[in-house]
Structures are given as structure tokens and as C-alpha cells.
Amino acid sequence: EIVLTQSPGTLSLSPGERATLSCRASQSVSSSDLAWYQQKPGQAPRLLIYGASSRATGIPDRFSGSGSGADFTLIISRLEPEDFAVYYCQQYGRSFTFGGGTKVEIK
């Protein structure tokens, strides 16, 4: 089973700053098989990025994804107040697995 390791566990930033989140796979993942989600307390996750770099419907362009092989990155270019949440990566190539999550909190 592919293990996804997200770092850092927590990111403390201020609104307007840039957030860089990492997702590392235990073995190579096809770029088409990597997604990112946002989850706020008490809510279901929301799909942000699929295929490593394609934004889902309605997702603002301050969210961008990149990467290949075993290393993937989610960047939020300028944090808005509503972006403070937990972010998960997921691979859906060989079975499905989620990373452990990165919490983006207000500094």
C-alpha cells in the first residue's frame, strides 16, 4: 500500500502569506492520480486539486498543485481567512490512500 506523508504537520501563517504544503509518497505515483482536499471543522472535505495540478470546479486560482513521481506540493499563494483549515493529499492510482494532513492555522 502506498503511504503518503504530509509535512509540515502544522503551518502557522498570517493572512496574505504564501503556504507551501508537501506530500511525499512511499513509491512513485502517477501525476494523474494525486488529489488535494480541504477540510474545515465539522464539515466534509472539499476537492481542491486533482491530477496533481488541475483545479476542481469553483476553486480559486490562489490554489495550485504541482509535482511528480513521489513529491507533490500544494501552494496557496495568498492566504485568505477562509483558507485556514486542514489539507489532505490522496492518491487514487493503486488503491486509495490519504496523507495524514497539514493544518494551516492563523499565526
Partner 1 sequence: EVQLVQSGAEVKKPGESLKISCKGSGYSFTSYWIGWVRQMPGKGLEWMGIIYPNDSDTRYSPSFQGQVTISADKSISTAYLQWSSLKASDTATFFCARCQLPYFPYYGMDVWGQGTTVTVSS
Which lies closer to partner 1 via its Cβ, residue 14 or residue 57? 57
- Joined grid coordinates for residue 64: 495550485
Alpha helices in 1-107 (DSSP H): none
Rounded Cα–Cα distance for residues 43 and 27 (Å): 31
Cβ 103 to partner 1 shortest distance, Å: 10
CB of 65 to partner 1, least distance (A): 11
* Whether 90 contacts 14, CB under 8 Å: no
- Least distance from C-beta 13 to partner 1, angstroms? 20
Where residue 70 falls (left for φ over 0; alpha for ψ -120 to 50; beta otherwise) is alpha
Q: Which is nearer to partner 1, 13 or 59 (CB)?
A: 59
Residues that bind partner 1 (CB under 8 A): 1, 32-33, 35, 37, 39, 44-47, 49-51, 56-57, 86, 88, 90, 92, 95-101
